[in-house]
Amino acid sequence: MSLTGSVFSEENFRKMVEYAPIGILIIDHEKNWQFVNRKFCEITGYSREDLVGKTFLDITYPEDIENNLQLYNRMISGEIREYFYEKRYIRKDGRVIWVRLSVAGVWMDGKYSHMVVSVEDIDNSKQYQKAIESKNLELDRLFYKASHDLKAPVASLSGLCHLLSLEHEELRHDESFRHLERTIDYLKKQNELLLEVTRIYEWTPLISTTHLEQLVRNTAESLHVNGTPVRLTDLDVCIDTDPGLLAIAIRNILDNAIRYVRPGLKANIIVDYVTMPGAHKLTVSDQGTGIPRQEMDQIFSMFHKAHEQAGGSGMGLYIASKAIERLSGRITVASEEGDGSSFSIILPDRRARDFVN
């Protein structure tokens, strides 16, 4: 296809840029505006004349300047050639707005010349996100308070049952009483899991260099799975992560693998590691019962159980997914019913050149 027709004349190209539905900028090596289109003026409230003598930092929200400069300096040094960034502008009327930038550097004769930037107004979506986060924070506080307030009554009930069983030995053989003890024990465990969820929500990740093999071994030992074969492959590596959050996720995935072993078989678990572009991938594979296809979309939901007969709380995979989300990662799953499952934890490589927190 030829692009030399009249539609793609220089004049029409200029019009397309001028009337584009997103802001388009050209900024020289001194950070000055060389070109801004109409949409950018609409987004920021500044006219072209207003921007004369200003740099892009002059209308950047103060708290975003340092990160913005770091990315800019990495680009002009040639370390990166492009970056994507969300930041805030201060409009001419004083209102602070959120925008998403896509920035590409242009080099001429081997030297940095200028950058071309597209600017998208995301303020409405950011405000909506902020409102949702505020509501979620309120729910988290309510969630924590309810779980915390239940802790003492449940402990009292457990202690009372124990005293009754000591004072009345016949109760130890009473099925109704034993059912009551099991119910209280289940309630106690569920409440502990709910409290763990609230701790994860409030957890501020502390990133440190972590040896994966040692972390997985310690986690497996804490589950008392010494009788269960857990084969570790290529785990003799160190990554930068929060070991506490990662251990929570691994513990719950391992527990899930042991819980759903196929009847008549001994759990056989493989944990392996591979690198991905800009990421780490840790996979836990089992030979368990697998996950029914119709359940795949729900397995990370709170209280969801793919197999009721296996017991459990329905919280393990939910807790694992939330712990990994706090690390800016994700968990994927591949499974066939009756043929085991593989859960992959994918974490950002914080040492990668293109990693932006």
CATH number for the domain spanning 289: value is 3.30.565.10
Q: Where are the alpha helices (DSSP H) in the chain?
A: 10-18, 38-44, 48-51, 62-76, 123-167, 175-202, 212-222, 243-259, 316-325
Summarize pLDDT for 9-53 with one digit per residue, the tens.
778 888 888 888 999 999 998 899 999 999 999 999 999 999 988
**Enclosing domain of residue 264:** 205-357
Q: How confident is the model at residue 220 (pLDDT cuts 50, 70, 90)?
A: confident
Q: Which residue, of 143, 170, 202, is where some domain finishes?
A: 202
105 CB burial (10 A radius; 0-12, 13-18, 19+): buried
* pLDDT single digits (tens) 76-117: 898 888 999 899 999 999 999 999 999 999 999 888 999 999
Mean residue pLDDT of the chain comes to: 83
Shared domain check, 69 and 158: no
Last residue of a domain, one of 151, 180, 202: 202
Given 163, 187, 202, the domain boundary residue is 202
**What CATH number is given to the structural domain containing 189?**
1.10.287.130
pTM above 0.75, yes or no: no
Residues 127, 97 share a domain: no
> Which of the 8 DSSP states describes residue 3?
-
Percent of the chain with pLDDT over 70: 87
